[in-house]
């Protein structure tokens, strides 16, 4: 199944997004609802809260008095963390149970207000951030929830900053307009991304990159996107796994095809084969066939590797899996660092790419035509590595 994280600042309209996704067919798991469920009267969760914060957090009827509890933890970091230690593990357990009950082809949306703050982004195939201007959010809180302006500002200010939240989102849904506009954006997201993404994961199918060569200006979001993808890979495969952002999109200011190249380091290709299925489950299916690297400086030699793609229609990804220390592994890291450090080398590569993209509009022809340039870059990068003492990292 496809696991989607949904979050947004208070007043951004996250609940409206969840409701529309439910109408489209998503299975919604609401962390706020579960947080209330695990502290109902008679639960061990409520008993632990009373033990930690006193009987003053109960109503006369024995329910949790949320305003009273909020007053105890608001502005008190230690108290807030103590409350989270009580609630969050129980919410995670209930989330896992509900997810297990969903159909195998479901799109499960976890509605989590503090998804970014609690470091959960990497646990999902995709994260949706609902975004709205702070003034719009404050107005919604005062008009729709009856908060004072001061309370609304305090609640917004207590959350993570908007820039950090947006950086965690694979999709940022703007919600400054009316409900019809929001619904249109959600419906497009459901149709064009979530549904095919789920199908691709289930079938173990990567999104085709297309035969043509198309250069775009350097996108400042490329490193953020790469960081999100790497976090999923490293979290999903567990400790000891290291992935790198390589290729043109890893070099600031360098025009490139809108394809993010990542590299996973392994000790042996047998290790890569052992976790190929797991990578597919994470949304990175293996491309069939035999894949090799040019062994720079060793004419006629090729070094085998594995290549995976991405099941998410919102990304174009090459995930190269190379043996650490192999020529292809070293060259990928060296070229990246050389082009980052030497603007003249970066600009020369940009000029070569622009020329070759015009002369060889098909991807295969373009790739073959770049080989002589790569040979020259390998020599220049080696000289730079010797002069600077560069080591792969």
Q: What is the dihedral of CA 28, 29, 34, 35, to 10 degrees?
A: -110
Report the Cα 152 to chain-centroid distance in Å.
Answer: 29
Half-sphere exposure of 46 (CA within 13 A, CB side): 19
pLDDT reported for residue 124? 97
Give residue 300's pLDDT band: very low, low, confident or very high (50, 70, 90). Answer: low
pLDDT reported for residue 214? 80
- Please state, for a pLDDT cut of 90, what percent of the chain lies above it: 69
Give residue 393's pLDDT band: very low, low, confident or very high (50, 70, 90). Answer: confident
Tens of pLDDT, residues 146-161: 888 988 898 888 888 9
Asked if residue 113 has pLDDT above 90, the reply is: no
Asked if residue 209 has pLDDT above 80, the reply is: no
Lowest-pLDDT range of 78-87, 197-206, 302-311: 78-87
- Asked if residues 113 and 7 have their Cβ atoms less than 8 Å apart, the reply is yes
Tens of pLDDT, residues 344-377: 999 999 999 888 888 888 877 888 888 888 889 9
pLDDT reported for residue 337? 97
In the block, tokens 């006193």 appear at 54
pLDDT reported for residue 224? 96
- Asked if residues 157 and 151 have their Cβ atoms less than 8 Å apart, the reply is no
pLDDT reported for residue 347? 95
pTM above threshold 0.85: yes
pLDDT reported for residue 360? 85
- Residue 2 token pair: 């496809």
pLDDT reported for residue 263? 98
Question: What's the rounded mean pLDDT across residues 297-307?
Answer: 82
Give residue 137's pLDDT band: very low, low, confident or very high (50, 70, 90). Answer: confident
- Between strands 302-308 and 317-323, the pairing is antiparallel
Give the mean pLDDT of the chain: 92
Tens of pLDDT, residues 265-283: 999 999 999 999 999 999 9
pLDDT: which is higher, 11 or 271? 271
Question: What's the rounded mean pLDDT across residues 42-50?
Answer: 94
Asked if residue 297 has pLDDT above 70, the reply is: no
- Residue 16 token pair: 């409206």
- Asked if residues 302 and 293 have their Cβ atoms less than 8 Å apart, the reply is yes
- Asked if residues 392 and 334 have their Cβ atoms less than 8 Å apart, the reply is yes
* Residue 380 CB-density burial (10 A; 0-12 exposed, 13-18 middle, 19+ buried): middle
pLDDT: which is higher, 23 or 9? 23
Q: How far apart are alpha carbons 262 and 259 in whole angstroms?
A: 10
Asked if residue 296 has pLDDT above 80, the reply is: no
pLDDT reported for residue 31? 87
- Please state, for a pLDDT cut of 70, what percent of the chain lies above it: 98
Tens of pLDDT, residues 168-178: 999 999 998 88
Q: H-type helices in the chain, by residue range? A: 14-24, 31-37, 44-53, 66-73, 77-101, 134-144, 149-157, 162-167, 179-189, 195-203, 222-237, 269-274, 276-281, 327-341, 343-359, 363-369, 371-388
Sign, CA dihedral 84-237-95-127, equals positive
């Amino acid at each position: 199944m496809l696991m989607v994280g949904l979050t947004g600042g208070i007043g951004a309209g996250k609940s409206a997004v969840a409701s529309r996704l439910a109408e489209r067919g998503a299975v919604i798991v609401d962390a706020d609802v579960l947080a209330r469920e695990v502290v109902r009267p008679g639960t061990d969760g409520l008993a632990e809260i009373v033990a930690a914060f006193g009987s003053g957090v109960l109503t006369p009827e024995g329910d949790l008095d949320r305003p009273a509890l909020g007053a105890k933890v608001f502005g008190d970091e230690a108290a807030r963390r103590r409350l989270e230690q009580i609630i969050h593990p129980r919410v995670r357990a209930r989330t896992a149970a509900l997810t297990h009950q969903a159909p195998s082809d479901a799109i499960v949306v976890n509605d989590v207000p503090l998804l970014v703050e609690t470091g959960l982004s990497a646990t999902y195939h995709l994260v949706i951030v609902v975004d709205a201007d702070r003034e719009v959010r404050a107005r919604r809180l005062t008009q729709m929830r009856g908060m004072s302006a001061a309370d609304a500002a305090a609640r917004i200010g207590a959350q993570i900053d908007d820039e950090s939240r947006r950086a965690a989102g694979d999709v940022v849904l703007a919600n400054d307009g009316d409900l019809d506009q929001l619904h249109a954006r959600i419906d497009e997201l459901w149709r064009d991304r979530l549904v095919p993404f789920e199908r691709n994961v289930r079938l173990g199918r990567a999104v085709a990159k297309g035969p043509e060569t198309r250069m775009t200006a350097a996108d400042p979001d490329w490193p953020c996107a790469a960081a999100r993808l790497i976090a999923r890979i490293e979290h999903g495969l567990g400790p000891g796994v290291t992935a790198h952002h390589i290729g043109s999109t890893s070099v600031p200011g360098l025009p490139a095809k809108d394809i993010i190249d990542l590299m996973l380091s392994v000790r042996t290709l047998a290790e890569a084969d052992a976790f190929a299925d797991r990578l597919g489950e994470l949304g990175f299916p293996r491309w069939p066939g035999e894949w090799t690297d040019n062994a720079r400086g060793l004419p006629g030699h090729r070094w085998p590797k594995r290549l995976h793609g991405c099941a998410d229609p919102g990304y174009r990804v090459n995930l190269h899996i190379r043996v650490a220390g192999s020529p292809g592994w070293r060259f990928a890291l060296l070229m990246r660092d050389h082009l980052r450090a030497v603007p003249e080398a970066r600009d020369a590569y940009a000029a070569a790419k622009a020329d070759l993209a015009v002369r060889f509009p098909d991807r295969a022809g373009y790739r073959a035509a770049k080989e002589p340039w790569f040979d020259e870059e390998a020599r220049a990068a080696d000289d730079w590595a010797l002069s600077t003492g560069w080591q792969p990292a």
